[in-house]
């Protein structure tokens, strides 16, 4: 589904790499937490998957496509298979909930009939069936994030990328959002979520990939936010799926 082969990303300037020799693989239907401090490279990793950035070195495959060989004009069509959710929701303030979700489908040229059918279904799925005609500013933060999630999944993407989707929400609301993401994952969508909220990760017990200074220092099935077993190798192909004891490498 998603594969990174020794990917390094260096932004211009003499800074250290944002991602340093990252190798990992995410399989279809997985739910993966991406944890690490701010600046550890989580967002860069998500941006690379979206092809908003190109890697300085290494190769990235997403949905069977080599992103390095994907021509620019095909990037829009590639992105139609990905849904994205952000910490700051990024809703359009002058459009209703319904129109915000429908906007996604309009701009990729879906028919009116399809939109009339898909949008209410998706809004019901995220629990906003009765708030379709509200404007974003009339909703709570949790509800706004549900709209954003509805927008991300209305086109039934194979992968959902979430960049700290609970970052602006209180714990109770966050739990609701996580239930929703879990349900979306259960429907077969691969979910990749960057976060630094320990409570959520510890509670969900899903695969955890930890980044420190742009390096993968831990890749654990059913992990917690903090290391439960002293783990991990990095940079070895295949090692991602087999947690093993490693010489504690981090900076």
Contact between 1 and 63 under an 8 Å Cβ cutoff? The reply is yes
How many Cα atoms sit within 13 Å of 102 on the Cβ side?
A: 16
CA distances (Å), 55 to each of 49, 207, 222, in order?
Answer: 10, 24, 29
* H or E element, residue 21: strand 19-26
> Are 47 and 86 within 8 A, CB to CB?
no
Single out the segment in contact with another protein by CB under 8 A; choices: 11-19, 109-117, 124-132, 135-143.
109-117
Rounded CA gap, 12 and 15, in Å? 8
Interface region with another protein, contact rule CB under 8 A, candidates 72-80, 164-172, 215-223, 225-233? 72-80
Q: How many residues bind another protein (CB under 8 A)?
A: 26
Which span sits near another protein by CB under 8 A: 100-108, 131-139, 194-202, 239-247?
A: 100-108
| Contact track, another protein, 134-153, x by CB under 8 A | -----------------x--
User: Which of 178, 170, 169 has its CA nearest to residue 202?
Assistant: 178
Least spacing, CB of residue 178 vs another protein, in Å: 22
Note whether 84 binds another protein by CB under 8 A.
yes
- 66 contacts another protein (rule: CB under 8 A): no
Q: Which of 90, 124, 183, 221 binds another protein (CB under 8 A)?
A: 90
- 72 touching another protein, by CB under 8 A: yes
Name the strand (E) or helix (H) holding 201. helix 198-204
The binding track of 43-62 with respect to another protein, each residue x by CB under 8 A or -, is -------xxx----------
């Amino acid at each position: 589904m998603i594969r990174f082969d020794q990917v390094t990303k260096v932004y211009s300037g003499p800074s250290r790499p944002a991602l340093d020799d990252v190798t990992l693989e995410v399989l279809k239907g997985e739910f993966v937490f991406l944890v690490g401090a701010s600046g550890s490279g989580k967002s860069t990793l998500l941006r690379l998957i979206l092809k908003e950035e190109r890697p300085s070195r290494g190769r990235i495959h997403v949905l069977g496509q080599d992103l390095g060989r994907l021509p620019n004009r095909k990037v829009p069509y590639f992105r139609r298979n990905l849904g994205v959710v952000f910490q700051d929701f990024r809703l359009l303030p002058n459009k209703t909930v319904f129109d915000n979700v429908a906007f996604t489908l309009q701009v990729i040229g879906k028919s009116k009939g399809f939109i009339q059918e898909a949008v209410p279904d998706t809004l019901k799925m995220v629990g906003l069936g009765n708030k379709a005609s509200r404007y974003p500013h009339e909703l709570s933060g949790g509800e706004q994030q549900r709209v954003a999630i509805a927008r991300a999944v209305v086109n039934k993407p194979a992968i959902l990328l979430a960049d700290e989707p609970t970052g602006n929400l209180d714990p109770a609301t966050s739990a609701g959002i996580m239930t929703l993401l879990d349900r979306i994952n259960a429907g077969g969508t691969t979910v990749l979520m960057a976060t630094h909220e320990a409570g959520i990760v510890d509670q969900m017990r899903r695969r955890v990939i930890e980044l420190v200074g742009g390096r993968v220092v831990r890749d654990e099935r059913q992990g917690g936010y903090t290391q439960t077993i002293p783990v991990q190798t990095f940079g070895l192909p295949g090692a991602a799926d087999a947690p093993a004891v490693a010489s504690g490498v981090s900076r």
